[in-house]
Structure 1
Amino acid sequence: MREIVFDTETTGLSFAGGDRLVEIGCVEMVNRVDTGRTFHAYFHPERSMPAEAQAVHGLSDAFLSDKPLFAAGVAALLDFIGDAPLVAHNAGFDFSFLNGELQRCGRDPVCRTRMVDTLQIARTRHPGAKHSLDALCSRYGIDRSHRVLHGALLDAQLLAQVYVELNGGRQIGLGLLAETAPVAIAATTVHAAPTPRPPRVFSVPPAELAAHAAFMARVKEPVWYQGRPGGAAASG
């Protein structure tokens, strides 16, 4: 399954109140494995950057002055995310800015049924604990030493690792059955029965077979013959 883990940086806390999106970072995951494909962009907010917001992410008016408007990069962004579920920490906040910018430039908003909120997952898995991205990185031993300021792509990359841990860790990918494509039946998607992987065949050298037979000949009253006709004398 393809998923996009993403994060945004903004000029403030409320798109409806006049704040704008200035940075977005996206990480592609397939079956909860980071593929290495990312999307990252800065956008000119068409307004000044408040000092308190700049203190969080370090993005100044001077830095953003030559960056494109959101409308100029929206096609590439939408092409990258496709129709995949979108994973974010406190996802309602990021969705409000993403959809606000999309609607502002005449695009359809992203349906909230695609929203996966790692904050809610963390609250369910670890009630009463701290649930910030920093706290979750500490809990799961994820290195965040290079995170001096918030940055959308860096935070999305850290969140991708946290998301894997929140869903059981790396062992979730150690399946023993081959994956099968879903079969569509009317309005319902049904997965075909998994196909077992073919057994591996190992050849045993004749010398080892002879040594094994000699050893077995010395075993008296083996338990695997008990209860069979002839008892320990049975063969085959």
Structure 2
Amino acid sequence: MPTMDEITSSEPGDLFHVIFTTSHIQKDPRGEMEKVRIPGTYTSIGAAKAAAHSCLFDAGYEREWFSKYETNPEVFESLGIRQRAGLAVFATAPDGTTFRVRIHTTPNVNHLTTSYEDGRIPVDLYYVVQANVEYADGQGGELRDINIEGTFKSYDEARDFARGVLLSEEDGISKQSFAQYDEAGPNERDCGYGENVIVHAEMESVRLAEATMKIS
């Protein structure tokens, strides 16, 4: 891995993150066993798309292993896949496991750059990830909406940011605004909902919305 001195000074305005999720909704309707991984961050959409399309194969999977493997946005629409924004790959396994590879764009607020030809940011990053899921009338959860809220160079920076993402003094949103609000203690790395889940909150409405702030 190159040092910061080896990274060029050319600074992109946006960063493009590859988000890889696996879930088995049939066996786990609340999505509690959904796994989220961020294989890499890139300085161009072209580089991120190339990485997204090779993501499953880089992870050791083979094309023949999937009962369905799609990369065409028009096919995504015809299949009725919800939350298609940024979706690059949609695949399913014979046992019902679903694989999604998405590209999520965020401003390059930390002025990250790279000298790698593939556009990959070469430094270790910590991501604050917000996962939202809705439940209707006590039924199974809809597919989670997963977004990267912040990218940081240290765990402590990411943790401090994650603690306040769901709150807004300006809009009058506090911990008391939620039906349930769980937050990891000062020396803890989870709030009881999985490793590195810093905040888990639920709010009552016509549908129950659940938001989880996780550091990946």
* TM-score calculated relative to the size of structure 2: 0.23
More strand by share: 2
Structure ID, larger Rg: 1
Q: When the two structures are superposed, what TM-score results if normalisation uses the length of structure 1?
A: 0.22
Choose between structure 1 and 2: higher helix proportion.
1
